[in-house]
Structure 1
Amino acid sequence: MTLEIEHRPSASPYVERVWRSRSDDVARMTAVATPRWSLVFWKQSGRTYGAVQGPGSKASHAPVPEDATFFGIDFAVGTTMPHLPVGRLVDGHADIPDATGTSVWLAGSAWHLPDYDNAETFVRRLVREGVVVRDPLVADVVRGAEPDASARTVQRRFVAATGLTRGAVRQIDRARQAAVLLRQGLPTAEVVNRLGYFDQPHLAHSLSRYIGRTATSLRDGGGGEPLSLLYKT
């Protein structure tokens, strides 16, 4: 039972990461929380499917199509599609109709189906046509910059861009970073100190809510069903 995932970062300010995977005798996975939305395409039994996967506010169980290959584009926080408000997709998705082996239908137009190597070219075309836009204030705040706006304005822009509050985005990314460090073998106490958790129970609660794993299972590689993509943000 495996879910093989290959992924790479992106130099595009609109894209966080590009990935592809293959399922082998996997019926279900644990989808970790994420403040990012994604375009996902998969092929199964000779057919092509597509979906816009919304942000996840908590860890959840997700079905995995049998013997399928997948390709996805994780968009950077602050990037949106105006015709499909991301707030409607939190903890959900929207199917992309009429996907074929060569084309995909988005925002009322047909587009050449992207792949792992030309994802950024595809996204540049979406940006050029106004299908994908980016809120620079949200992007800058995520990178740690001090916003030149009131806290109320920042909160409103975060909710518009992610469907989540600024605090929720921060908590989810911190839990994801903690999971990565634990998988690398870092002691729990050091993760607590490095990431600013109050104590180990605080970390345990965060991992349970956002990752769906304990610190021990992350460090030992246990926990049963496969995890969705985890990486250092």
Structure 2
Amino acid sequence: MKAAGEMESRDLPTVTTVQFGLEVEHRPSASPYIERVWRSRSQDVAQMLSVATPRLGLAFCYRRGEFIAAVTGPELIASMVELPAEATFFGIDFTLGTFLPHLSAARLLDRQVLVPDVSDRSFYLAGSHWAHPNFDTAEIFVQRLVREEIVSRDRLIADLAKGATPELSARTVQRRFLASTGVTHGAARQMDRARTAAVLLRDGASPADVIAELGFHDNPHLHRSLRRFIGRTTSDLRTGTRQPLSLLYTT
């Protein structure tokens, strides 16, 4: 039996970008637990600017016979990260509200937790050994984690991300949002808005159009948001820079 979203995900478009020595391939997913699946390869690049995100994920790095796996947490601001040379990477970005019950989202804030006992064939997560997933088997892998209750999801958060208005108190909504994501609802909205703005500017939209479409107050407001969450200015995004950015896509 195929995992939820497996067949549909194969029909979704895959995007490939090359930025100053970092080649990235990524695609969306039909799984309600997965926002994006990606893989990349580094060549002649030592650093990358990682953009802010309210989402958790899994990341794998393979280099010269060494295998590293980690659960990645939400990042409140853009930050510079080191990249090992001539390495290949694979990752799964979870949808907003998807979490690992055995790991507190607050514990993962602005950090990653390395997964123990990683070999070329498997790694240890939540009491069990798991075979390495890949770009094509991500949905199958995550569905197995869901069945074993290692990955879960708060549907309230997913509905909020789509613009729904829950019939719950603001305090209850905020509490559940913090529990599953480690960040506030307001912070998550700001991060995603900045990400969307960055994509639009990179693709040629004018700052005035981005401000009007996404509800920024004015150009200084857009500038501050981009600097905090993306680590780039409007001009940087429109003209390109000499340093690669982490995965940019519209959520």
Pick the TM interval, shorter chain.
over 0.9
Asked if residue 228 in structure 1 is aligned to residue 242 in structure 2, the reply is no
Asked if residue 24 in structure 1 is aligned to residue 46 in structure 2, the reply is no
Question: What secondary structure sits across from 1:104 in the alignment?
Answer: strand
Asked if residue 119 in structure 1 is aligned to residue 138 in structure 2, the reply is yes
Shift of 1:61: 0.6
Aligned to 1:129: 148
After TM superposition, where is structure 1 displaced by more than 2 Å over at least 4 residues in a row? Answer: none
Over the aligned positions, Cα root-mean-square deviation in angstroms equals: 0.7
Question: What secondary structure sits across from 2:67 in the alignment?
Answer: strand
For these two proteins, the number of residue pairs brought into alignment is: 232
Question: What secondary structure sits across from 1:145 in the alignment?
Answer: coil
User: What's the TM-score, normalizing by structure 1?
Assistant: 0.98
Written as runs of structure 1 = structure 2, the 5 A alignment for 1:24-173 is 24-173=43-192
Question: What secondary structure sits across from 1:147 in the alignment?
Answer: coil
The AA in structure 1 aligned to 2:146 is V
| Per-residue CA distance 1:53-74 (angstroms, 9 max, x = gap) | 1111100011111110000000
Shift of 1:37: 1.1
Shift of 1:173: 0.2
Q: Which runs of 5+ in 2 are unaligned?
A: 1-19
The AA in structure 2 aligned to 1:231 is Y
Question: What secondary structure sits across from 1:5 in the alignment?
Answer: strand
User: What's the TM-score, normalizing by structure 2?
Assistant: 0.91
Deviates further, 93-102 or 118-127: 93-102
**C-alpha distance in 1 between matches for 2:124 and 2:249:** 29
Shift of 1:148: 2.1
Deviates further, 172-181 or 140-149: 140-149
Aligned to 2:16: none
Q: Which runs of 5+ in 1 are unaligned?
A: none
